[in-house]
Structure 1
Amino acid sequence: MSNSALEQHPLLPWLALQHTRGIGPVRAIRLRTQLGEQWYHSLQHARGLSEEQQEQLQTPHTSVLEPLLEWQQQAPNRHILSWDDPAYPELLRAVSAAPLLLFVEGDISMLSRPQIAVVGSRHPSYVGRENTNNLVPPLVEAGAVITSGLAIGIDGLGHRATLNAGGLTLAVLGSGLDRCYPKRHLRLAAEIIENGGALLSECYPWEGPLAHHFPRRNRIISGLSLGVLIVEAAERSGSLITARYAMEQGREVFAIPGARQNPQASGCNRLIQQGAKLVSNANDILEELVAFSVAAIKVRPAATEELLPYPELLDNVGLETTAVDLIASRCQQPVQEVLTRLVELELAGWVESVPGGYVRARRS
């Protein structure tokens, strides 16, 4: 592309706003709204801009634009969306401090389809993993796109459960799309695209994962979604940041309760105390969403999914041998009662008795 064409490119004004000190997304969007479609040529009428800001806004950032366009042209399914692009998702556009630019790889229509966010601990318990695998398929069957952050733990499990159910999933990254993080999910990211989903980030494609990217990523996850399901979260968890954004954005927040002995459940229990809806099956989520959404999400018939027996015990039986007295201590229950329940779980195929205690069975 010639220099003259670059200097007239419609993305340049948005890049100028990105690189101007003292103008964040909120103020940038306010300028766009106040000054109309020709806002970039009307900045002299904008109030409160310093001379330095005026100068920075008039600086053509072609050195940034050129590699962005090169990145876009390297694959047919890559897209760069500014806030005023018709393809920019309406739900996210309505959020305060919505990203000025989005970088997308995959099916761009995913951004505007009805989405439910599924997020949680990076170190989920057995029960957390089971809940994810049990709850996601009926959400997919009901017509929802599952959105998450591609992180290890519940995020990755949510994406994988969606793909296994034949559904569509959207991954929002805390890094640029050329710097997939975590690297162990490179294959998962490729599968998401191959199966009709998409990857999304507000970071430039070449940017690596930085700490301050992830809270910003979380506001996109909640902003895209009709509701956010927190599967499992400790008291101090990034998932609770997503829940807070969801509340601020007027989204529904759902949480799965857990045993008080499980530190990974404390964040969810606290959310429920603060007004999040307690979730025991998929219909608990779907019945809330159809009330305010025009999306084609269907409430399923009464759930028939199998409930986990004695989850407080199962959560404390690992894949390595766990002694009965240790399980009883963790659960704060009498040893004899724990032993009786472990026998029931063994008969049902959930655990196996081994020398020195019990191990979790690899039950389908």
Structure 2
Amino acid sequence: MDFDLTDDQRLLTDSVARLLSDSYSFEQRKALLKTEQGWSETLWQKYAELGLTGLPIAEEHGGFGGGAVDVMLLMQAFGRHLVLEPYLATVVLGGTALRLAGDAAQQGEILPEVAAGSLRLAFAHYERQARYDITDVLTTAKPQGGGFLLEGAKSVVLHGATADKLVVSARTGGSRAEAEGLSLFLVDADAPGLARRGYRLRDGTEAAELSLSAVQVPREALLGLQDAALPVIQRVVEAGIAATAAEVIGAMETMHAMTLDYLKTRVQFGKPIGENQALQHRAAEMLVAMEQGRSMAMLATMSLEEEDAAERARHISMAKVGVGQAGRFVSQQAVQLHGGIGMTEEYAVGHFFRRVMVIEHLFGDTATHLDRLAEQVA
């Protein structure tokens, strides 16, 4: 397999690196966290101008027509700077749902606005009782007046409080945790009966709790086939896992570089602490873990094109476990090797640690995916 980047991919990575180097220092990021929105509208528009918001969207809808590798490269760059903007929620999760399930009219209406950066999406699927089980859905959508009436609640909706439209899963048939009977709906953020409570996750990124009380949507709001949305939901989650795995790789690269620099410059007993062989070994172990995680992140990206759903799910779970373990090890070592300064709010390494820990619990934590892999070989 050829892992060399194309000219377009090199141009993409160089352009993003320049933008983030100029606009996303640690101090600039801390300033964004203090704002009410928690991210930069100005930078979001710059992403759109560079074509990033349309990266995986077809050219006919105003996008770049890129693939999973392009998104992986971008998410690695975002991970190196702990980018706060709603790219994962809008382009990766919401955009994937539209690209897979939307009909020609829905795609023609929504995707060009996403590509232009003028419309933001959020994927509202997980519920409080589900604990990573994507079939456990209690939100209902009952036929009424030629459309549907939505009732229920959604939890930890990434950037759900600032989205313009929400892709909401609901049960149109079957019982709780049944694979059949799930449907997806495109819901306006200002729809009567929809309440959103925004809050910050431990790493400072935004999420929301949604409450749907008699939310009326037209028949045209249905995304894809009624009662048969589970395969689409699975693909959206897998795209999210691949994207966040790449983000963790970028975060590990920065933590490793910061740690090496600290070992070279921190002087104790008259010499840099990096001359201590035991600390050199720990830094080397960080590098090995990071490269192992990189391989698994690449596996996740390549597996998105796998047509066999069971094989694809197995590879994605393997990647989720591998990247989760690598990310936890590198993050812990980075904080420990920095000593007390690594625990302070004023130093960047702790912020990277928190982001990696939050990602580990998105879309199923390491233990959950280990259990899924164990079930396949039992």
The answer, yes or no, to whether TM exceeds 0.5 is no
Larger Rg: 1
Structure with greater contact order relative to length (CA < 8 Å, sep ≥ 6): 2
Band of TM-score, shorter chain:
under 0.3
More helix by share: 2
TM-score, length of structure 2 as denominator length = 0.23
TM-score, length of structure 1 as denominator length = 0.24
